[in-house]
Amino acid sequence: MSDAKRDFNKDAATWDDKPERIRLVNDIAQTITGEIKLTPSMDVLDFGCGTGLLTMRLQPFVHSITGVDSSQGMLDVLNAKVKDQKLTNVMTRYLDIDQGGVLEGRYHLITSSMTFHHIKNIRPVLDQFYNILLPGYCLCIADLDVDDGQFHENSDGVFHAGFDRERLSNILWEAGFRNIKCQTAAKVTKPVQGGNTREFTIFLITACP
C-alpha cells in the first residue's frame, strides 16, 4: 500500500478494456439488483463512479443517477457515453472528499463499487452518506475482502488491503446505519506474485439510515 495518489486520469481512456473488470461490475450490479428493488422513481448516487460501468448498468431502472468521482478523466469518459447514448437521466459531478468536497442532494440509493479501499479515512465519507440518504432507503458498498495487499499490481493510492466485513459493519453501525447485511457479490481469479494465481472475493454490504 502506498500514500502516493494514483493517476486515474491517465488510466481513464483504457479503463474499460479489461474483460475481467467488466465481468466484476456485471456481478456487482446483479447482486445489487437482486438485493435492492430499483424503481423508476429512485434518484441514485454512484460514488467513485469512474467511467460509469456500474452507473450505466443501473440507469435504465431508475429516475436519475449521479456519478461522482475525483478523477475528471474518468468522468470525461462517462460523459462521452452519456452523450453518445443521448441519456437524460445520468449526471456527473467532480468531487474530491480528500480536499474537503461535500456531497449534496438527497438520494434513494447510494452505491459505491471498488472505491473504499482508495479512501484513507472512510468514516467521514459514511457520515456524509448518512446525511444525504433518504430514511428507509439503502447504501450499497462493494469492495474487497481482506486480501493481504495482493489484489493490486500497483499499490499507489490503496489505503486498505481489503476490509474485514465485521469491522466495516461496526463502523457503519457507529455512523448510525442499521439493517446491515453482507454477502459475497463476486469472485476474481488473477495472477499474484510468485507466478501463482489466487481467488479474491468482493462483498456487497447494504445498510439503511
CATH number at residue 120: 3.40.50.150
> How confident is the model over 23-41, as a mean pLDDT?
97
- Is residue 28 domain-resident? yes
- Is residue 17 domain-resident? yes
> Residue 169 corresponds to which cell in the numbers above?
459493519
- Is residue 131 domain-resident? yes
> How confident is the model over 151-180, as a mean pLDDT?
91
Predicted local confidence at residue 7, as pLDDT: 64
- Is residue 2 domain-resident? no
How far is C-alpha 188 from the geometric centre of its chain's CA atoms?
Answer: 16
Q: Find all residues with CB under 8 Å of 131, minimum gap 6, and list them.
A: 103
E runs forming strands in 54-117: 64-69, 90-94, 107-113
Residue span of the structural domain in which 145 resides: 8-208
Helix, strand, coil percent content, the chain, rounded in steps of 5: 35, 30, 35
What is the tens place of the pLDDT at every residue in 106-164?
Answer: 999 999 999 999 999 999 999 999 999 999 999 999 999 998 878 877 777 788 989 99
- Is residue 1 domain-resident? no
> Residue 70 corresponds to which cell in the numbers above?
475525483
- Is residue 91 domain-resident? yes
Q: How many residues are listed for the chain in this entry?
A: 209
The candidate with the shortest Cα–Cα distance to 122, out of 105, 148, 143, is: 143
**Backbone dihedral angles phi then psi of residue 16, each to the nearest 5 degrees:** -85, 5
Predicted local confidence at residue 1, as pLDDT: 47
Q: What pTM value is reported for the model?
A: 0.92
Rounded-to-integer distance, Cα 204 and Cα 185, Å = 6
- Is residue 3 domain-resident? no
Q: What's the pLDDT band for 201 if we cut at 50, 70, 90?
A: very high
Q: What total number of domains does the chain contain?
A: 1
- Is residue 111 domain-resident? yes
- Could you tell me which residue, 11 or 49, shows the higher pLDDT? 49
